[in-house]
Chain A
Amino acid sequence: MRAFQTLIGRDLRLAVRVGGEAMTLVLFFIMVAVIVPFAIGPDRPQLMRLAPGIVWIAAFLSMLLGLDRLFRSDDEDGSLLLLRHSVLPLEAVVAAKVIAHWLVTAVPLLLATPVLALLLSMSWAQWVGTVLALLAGTPALTSFGALGAAVTVGLRRGGLIAPVLILPLAIPVMIFGVGMLDPLAGSGALLFLVALSLLVTVFSPFAAALALRAAGE
């Protein structure tokens, strides 16, 4: 357990020390929301209606943008190879890295949502709903991302192919995440989203570890 925390701690410390990464993601997240009114017009009621969807698209794209770094730097400097012989099984190593990655990519986005709420004239209820949906859905996105990153870790062009692989698989997250805010949907969507997130989060470290082992061979 101590090794597990150490690994999370190292990744967080590296993220802080290397810096800028979380900032860049947040910047990208906000920029996507900023360009939407230019694309569809500054009509406030329309923006308000589309706001949850826009936030989800922005979050989706930001998470995809960041996932490549999940294993790549550790693979390049040999840490990943050495971590295979640590006291933790590789599955736990992946899980720790996924948690750290979620903390440095998803949490800053959550903190930045008020800016988007303001820009897209969201109502209070809409904002609360969106934050809840992101809180429930981003673990699934990060876990799918871990799978994509693990599968492409040995590829130099991996940064391009991982999002293309992951995006179709992650569509249900988007559907339930946005669907949650639909007045017709009821509470079913949140339940589905939480169930999906739990399943994917539990399952993906095993699949990702399998892929990392295959890539190392």
Chain B
Amino acid sequence: MSASPTFAQARLRVRGLTVRRGERLLFADLAFELAPGEVLLLRGSNGTGKSTLLLTLAGVVRAEGGSVEITGPDELPQMHLLNYQHGIKARLTAAENLGFWRRMYGETGVSVAEALQAVGIGGLAGLEAGYLSSGQVRRLSLARLLVSYRPLWLLDEPSAALDRDGEALLGRLIDAHREAGGMAVIATHHALPLANGGGITTLVLGDSP
């Protein structure tokens, strides 16, 4: 395993993004840019399109206009998506679940055991995921971000179901990701315990003048 790669060339460029859900216009002409180490916090009340924006950045929801450009070190998909669905199978153990995603997303990150250790459920590796609590499931989901290095993290309410320790852990993980030159777009209602290193911008959706 090579040392943690840096994302010096990684960029996220969003220009003129317009997204409609049905016939409802969620946002129009949205533009922003993220450079390595930068984080964008999405805020806005329910139904303003935070989750939809994340899905648009992930290429799942098609935009009506504008462009999303994610450049990274290679041609493979460059983003991790974390939302309320975890893609975790109840009948596979925590380690098997994580190992599966490691192979599917490219084995470029830390090992499964290290990742489980890092999110604080190292002792539960052999337990079937169906027996994990929702906070532990969320931690297992966070471990997925560590086993494959990808420059852009798209996180939808990442602190949901996490306890106070878990929130601190989340803050540390995001900080480490920034440190390594990663970027993140985070939709959240909570204040995340992020280190003040600059590079954090906030975008409020739905408050069109």
A residues contacting B by CB (< 8 A) are 2-3, 6-7, 10, 13-14, 17-18, 74, 76-79, 81-88, 216-217
Contacts and interface: CB of A to CB of B under 8 A. Distances in A.
Residue of A2, A3, A85, A86 most packed against chain B (CB within 10 A): A85
Interface in B73-96: 76-77, 79-81, 83-89, 91-92, 96
Given A14-B92, A217-B60, A82 B77 contact: no
A78 B85 contact: yes
Contacts of A2: 103
B149 interface: no
29 contacts: A2-B103, A3-B103, A10-B100, A13-B92, A13-B96, A14-B92, A17-B92, A74-B87, A76-B85, A77-B87, A77-B88, A77-B89, A78-B85, A79-B87, A81-B60, A81-B85, A82-B81, A82-B104, A83-B87, A84-B60, A85-B58, A85-B59, A85-B77, A85-B81, A87-B77, A87-B104, A87-B105, A88-B104, A217-B62
B27 interface: no
B152 to A, nearest CB: 10
Given A6-B100, A10-B100, A85-B79, A18 B91 contact: yes
A9 to B, nearest CB: 9
B5 to A, nearest CB: 16
A77 B80 CA distance: 16
> When A and B form their complex, which 3 residue pairs have the shortest distance between CB atoms, in order from nearest?
A78-B85, A79-B87, A86-B104
A132 to B, nearest CB: 35
A78 B91 contact: no
B106 interface: yes
Contacts of A77: 85-89
B92 A87 contact: no
A14 B91 contact: yes
Determine the main DSSP class of A at the interface with B: helix
Contact of B105 (A14, A76, A85): A85
Interface string B54-79: 00001111100000000000001101
Interface of B: 58-62, 76-77, 79-81, 83-89, 91-92, 96, 100-101, 103-106
A6 B103 contact: yes
A85 B89 CA distance: 18
A76 B86 CA distance: 10
Nearest to A76: B85
B126 to A, nearest CB: 14
B81 A83 contact: no
B76 A82 contact: no
Contacts of B79: 85
A86 B89 contact: no
Residue with the greatest number of chain B CB neighbours at <10 A, chosen from A2, A78, A88: A78
Contacts of B92: 10, 13-14, 17
Q: Which of A17, A82, A83: most chain B CB closer than 10 A?
A: A82
Nearest to A73: B89
A199 B107 CA distance: 34
Contact of A79 (B58, B89, B103, B105): B89
A38 B96 CA distance: 47
Contacts of A83: 87, 104
A8 to B, nearest CB: 11
B52 to A, nearest CB: 10
A165 B84 CA distance: 32
Contacts of B58: 84-85
Contacts of A217: 60-62
Given A216-B60, A217-B62, A17 B91 contact: yes
